[in-house]
Structure 1
Amino acid sequence: MLFNGADLVVHHTPGDTPYLLVVFGPAGYGHTAMHDYFGKVVSEKKRIETIGFAAKVDNWYMTPEMDDAFEVIQPILERFGKVIVVGMSMGAHTAIKQARRLKAHAVLAMSPKFSLDPEECNVPQQYLDKNFKPHMRGMGIKPEDDSERIIVAWDPMDSTDEEHAQLILAALPSASPVRMFYARHGVCESIAGADFMKEIIDSLAGNTPAETTSLIARIRRAHPVNIIFRLHACVGRHPLLSYLMIVSPRISRNRRAEHIYYNYGINGVLYFTLVIHGYDDEAVDLAGKIKNFLKYKEICPVGRGDMPPPIRLHTGDFQLVTCHGYMLAWDMQHRNFHGVQAFWPDNGLLPVIVRRHGHGFGVYVRIDGKLEPLVLKEDTVVLGTGAPDEEAFVVDSSGSKVGPGNKWSCPGLSVAISSSRGFLVTLPSRDIGLASANNCTWECLALLPVNS
């Protein structure tokens, strides 16, 4: 620690790089300022000589203590011919404003704000309430802050960041934009990783801004975190494209692929959406590949003697995937339905199974290798014994509505379950209701074939 004030802390990490990295962190981390700074793990792991500014108070580093901190770090600054400045959110504004003072060779500003002054631009009320102080008036990015080596990275789909980025680019005509689609405000997550960040920082030090922006874009497009964000945004509208992306060799071979395949919720939603759009084969292939990855860390394992048989589309037994991406299960203790993570249930609840028999289905759970029927009795779900007061569930494969006047085609892998109380309805919280009067999206269940 080089400096410890009331508003900010300055840390120093020694390293082997021919350049010095200076970082300014985002808001909301005052509780860690004494022992951490933005990117510290990367700097330590990759031996990057770094000065890390960490804010105790979210005042956009607009404090007289900055003068004291600069006096302390000046001897280190003088040892380096190149200084690279990186900032995130609150720190990105500071990275731009302090670039000249630091004699920065290059700046990467991720999701920067143009200003918090409501007289200079539109500012969300939450920032005015939490951060804006009278002495911060006129804090906007000015033409004198311009530099040919400033890179502004933001997600244009975030309306606030888009507005502020455009104001910054108008004020800094020499700055280079890099649009981080689907990255949201935390664009750093879409390029995270020590190797990735070291490559970007090295590029800032040695390459042109155009080469660095191209590198950032390439990393973002193939990054598992960004792929998950894209899936969340696109799975409902483009299920087939989402499927092709997630099972591509380029994605599956990524060393961080577990972030994608262990995301049970989004994969469950993708499975459900493929089914209701008629992509049965693709849905079943997706389920098989995800199960392989969960067990073998590969979606297409080769030469495994203990490989499970592939999931077959035409089988008699099915599990049930909801529109929210989880699987339907039975809670024996509380005698009701509940949700568990898709493809790999692990919370002790029993997956609900529907078995095809004749022209219909029955609802079961497997206990000691044997299927036991589930029935409704006095508003609870219990094992069937054939008692007169027990009611069998009805499994309807005729389809469900997606909206008023609209229906999807059911090629055989989606159903609705009902009783005299109404339709079974699945909630985002994983709770299951038994008395819905509707037969719409939340009442639809996708059949997941299982080997029996």
Structure 2
Amino acid sequence: MYREVLYEDSELIVIWQPGESDYLLITFGDLISLAAGNKFYADTAVTKLGLNCIGFMAKTPNWFPSASMAAAIGQIAILRQFSCRVAYGGSMGGYAAIKYSALLGASEVLAFCPQWSIDPNECAGQSSGYEHYFKPSMAGMGIRMEDMAGRICILHDPSYAVDDFHHNQIAAVCKNLASVNVYTAQHHVTSILAGTANLAELITTFIRDDIPHLKHIVSKIRRNSRIRKHILLQKAINRHPLLVHRVLGNAELATKLGVTENNALNSQLFQYFIAQGKPEKANEVLTRLGPSICRHRINLLQEALDDCARTAMIKTQGILVTHHQTVLVYSVFYGILCHKNLNALESEKMDLQPIFLVKLSGYEVAAIWSKNRFLACAIDPHGQVHLKGMESGKGDDFIVKEDNSNNGFTLLLKSRYVSAAHNGDILYNKPKALAWEIFYRYDVNLI
């Protein structure tokens, strides 16, 4: 396909691609489609449709400086060959489509969630959403009445505050504006309405000045959009997490979203369940995520899940406390049981794992929680802990709870009592139970 550079300077490049349409499409790139060779905004659709098109592409996030635009437009003789000139762009490109519509002699302008200005002084305390791109050379860049020509249509999500601010500022100075609401789109209006067939239908319908039909087209595209479904589910997570969980767990519904959207929603849902202390649900989400993410990330998420599960069990089962008001724990670094003060559970969480009592073969045995399962603490003759799965039942080297009074209980290893020595050690050789051999199960919030 033939393309020609009509103008280029340090700020922008203008590319011409001839076609067979009876109108001229003038497109403007946005922040994610800056100048790159002879590419221009919407060039794939333009080529497929055989449209006459001029593409303005910014080289940086510069919002198409007025000096460069005036110089470029002054050199584009092709403009005079078309009475119907349609300016088209989104976000930064939408701003330019409106801002330079008079200079271009545009007959129609389609702008998707455009900015009015990103000059903080013009916005007067209202965030433009793009302040970090502002440069002093952009001062006074706001769209004025005299900048505009032709019939202008802005398509945006009125519930998205930043874009609605810009829309309202433009509407206040535009005499010939049609507004088309694209609900539940946020700033993704351009992406939702993208596509060759959509572009053709939007442009031809607007050229006919059939705004009711234009709104119908937009509504139909929006309802079927994967992005809209993603946004709806994303918003629902905090209010209806179980509903979102069921939707994502339904293979037929999930496939309508796509891999990227599924991963993003499952990741957000995993974070929600972790924050709410619901490890069982978080584990179900992780199972869904697993096939589409790398094993290293799975391992990291599993660590977060384990930590959540331990925290949840501490809250529901309580912690095992010694006579010294310390907590019975397993040291990962040393492979032993010991007892530490409560604060150490948090400050030394990489090393210390709380001990729980888990029912097994009619007993309650000492165990830790790791990688979504309990591991029993089996004690060897040297006092080292060997973590064992509980599938085969209770072993002789497991620590077992002995039923005692409500004032406490004892732990046994092969008929000998487990003892919490004053120095933090755990001993396994006491023939009878005295104060140091008594343990308590306490609610962590009461200690």
Q: Does the pair score TM above 0.5?
A: yes
Residue deviations 1:370-424, cap 9 Å, x none? xxxxx99646958969843245799xxxxxxxxxxxxxxxxxxxxxxxxxxxxxx
Q: SS where residue 258 of structure 2 aligns? A: helix
Does residue 44 of structure 2 align to residue 41 of structure 1?
Answer: yes
Does the C-alpha gap of structure 1 residues 108 and 21 become closer, same or farther in structure 2, counting only changes over 3 Å?
same
> Which residue of structure 2 aligns with residue 200 of structure 1?
202
Q: Which amino acid aligns with 1:178?
A: V
> Which residue of structure 2 aligns with residue 259 of structure 1?
258
Task: Quote how far apart the aligned CAs of 1:126 are.
Answer: 7.5
Q: SS where residue 115 of structure 1 aligns? A: coil
- The answer to whether the Cα contact below 8 Å between 2:185 and 2:192 also exists between their aligned partners in 1 is yes
Does residue 289 of structure 2 align to residue 341 of structure 1?
Answer: yes
- Which of these residues, 81, 90, 93, is aligned with residue 79 of structure 1? 81
TM-score, with normalisation over the residues of structure 1? 0.57
State how far apart, in whole Å, the 1-side matches of 2:27 and 2:106 are: 12
Does the C-alpha gap of structure 1 residues 201 and 126 become closer, same or farther in structure 2, counting only changes over 3 Å?
closer
Does residue 24 of structure 2 align to residue 20 of structure 1?
Answer: yes
**1:86-125 to 2 correspondences below 5 Å:** 86-122=88-124, 124=127
**1:284-303 to 2 correspondences below 5 Å:** none
**1:122-201 to 2 correspondences below 5 Å:** 122=124, 124=127, 127-134=130-137, 136-145=138-147, 149-201=151-203
State how far apart, in whole Å, the 2-side matches of 1:203 and 1:73 are: 27
Higher RCO, 1 vs 2 (CA within 8 Å, ≥6 residues apart): 1
The worse-fitting range, judged by mean Cα deviation, of 239-248 and 17-26 is 239-248
Does the C-alpha gap of structure 1 residues 86 and 346 become closer, same or farther in structure 2, counting only changes over 3 Å?
same
- The answer to whether the Cα contact below 8 Å between 2:12 and 2:56 also exists between their aligned partners in 1 is yes
Q: SS where residue 322 of structure 1 aligns? A: helix
Residue deviations 1:139-167, cap 9 Å, x none? 32223455672111223333222212111
Which structure: larger Rg? 2
State how far apart, in whole Å, the 1-side matches of 2:250 and 2:204 are: 30
State how far apart, in whole Å, the 2-side matches of 1:197 and 1:216 are: 11
> Which residue of structure 2 aligns with residue 397 of structure 1?
none
Q: Which amino acid aligns with 2:98?
A: I
State how far apart, in whole Å, the 2-side matches of 1:115 and 1:5 are: 23
Q: Which amino acid aligns with 1:24?
A: F
Does the C-alpha gap of structure 1 residues 218 and 147 become closer, same or farther in structure 2, counting only changes over 3 Å?
farther
- Structure holding more helix per residue: 2
- The answer to whether the Cα contact below 8 Å between 2:270 and 2:286 also exists between their aligned partners in 1 is no
Q: Which amino acid aligns with 2:71?
A: D
> Which residue of structure 2 aligns with residue 433 of structure 1?
none
Does the C-alpha gap of structure 1 residues 194 and 269 become closer, same or farther in structure 2, counting only changes over 3 Å?
same
Task: Quote how far apart the aligned CAs of 1:125 are.
Answer: 8.0
- Which of these residues, 229, 232, 236, is aligned with residue 231 of structure 2? 229
Q: SS where residue 13 of structure 2 aligns? A: strand
- The answer to whether the Cα contact below 8 Å between 2:85 and 2:107 also exists between their aligned partners in 1 is yes
> Which residue of structure 1 aligns with residue 216 of structure 2?
214
Task: Quote how far apart the aligned CAs of 1:69 are.
Answer: 1.8
- The answer to whether the Cα contact below 8 Å between 1:33 and 1:55 also exists between their aligned partners in 2 is no
State how far apart, in whole Å, the 2-side matches of 1:124 and 1:238 are: 30
> Which residue of structure 2 aligns with residue 4 of structure 1?
8
State how far apart, in whole Å, the 2-side matches of 1:38 and 1:250 are: 34
State how far apart, in whole Å, the 2-side matches of 1:19 and 1:245 are: 45
Residue deviations 1:173-220, cap 9 Å, x none? 431122233322242112222232232223233342332233223212
Q: SS where residue 78 of structure 1 aligns? A: helix
Q: Which amino acid aligns with 1:160?
A: V
- The answer to whether the Cα contact below 8 Å between 1:264 and 1:326 also exists between their aligned partners in 2 is no
Task: Quote how far apart the aligned CAs of 1:13 are.
Answer: 2.2
Q: Can you give the 5+ residue segments of structure 1 that lack an aligned partner in the other structure?
A: 278-318, 328-339, 353-374, 395-436, 440-452
State how far apart, in whole Å, the 2-side matches of 1:243 and 1:222 are: 21
Q: Which amino acid aligns with 1:322?
A: A
Task: Quote how far apart the aligned CAs of 1:53 are.
Answer: 0.2
The worse-fitting range, judged by mean Cα deviation, of 149-158 and 259-268 is 259-268
Count matched residues: 320
Does the C-alpha gap of structure 1 residues 36 and 170 become closer, same or farther in structure 2, counting only changes over 3 Å?
same
What percent of counterpart residues are identical? Answer: 26
**1:325-336 to 2 correspondences below 5 Å:** 325-327=285-287
Task: Quote how far apart the aligned CAs of 1:343 are.
Answer: 6.3
- The answer to whether the Cα contact below 8 Å between 1:261 and 1:267 also exists between their aligned partners in 2 is no
Superposition RMSD in Å:
4.6
TM-score, with normalisation over the residues of structure 2? 0.58
Q: Can you give the 5+ residue segments of structure 2 that lack an aligned partner in the other structure?
A: 303-329, 336-350, 354-369, 380-384, 391-441
- The answer to whether the Cα contact below 8 Å between 1:96 and 1:109 also exists between their aligned partners in 2 is yes
> Which residue of structure 2 aligns with residue 417 of structure 1?
none
Task: Quote how far apart the aligned CAs of 1:5 are.
Answer: 1.2
Residue deviations 1:50-109, cap 9 Å, x none? 1110012433222423233223322x2233332111122222122112222323232111
Task: Quote how far apart the aligned CAs of 1:249 are.
Answer: 12
Q: SS where residue 18 of structure 1 aligns? A: coil
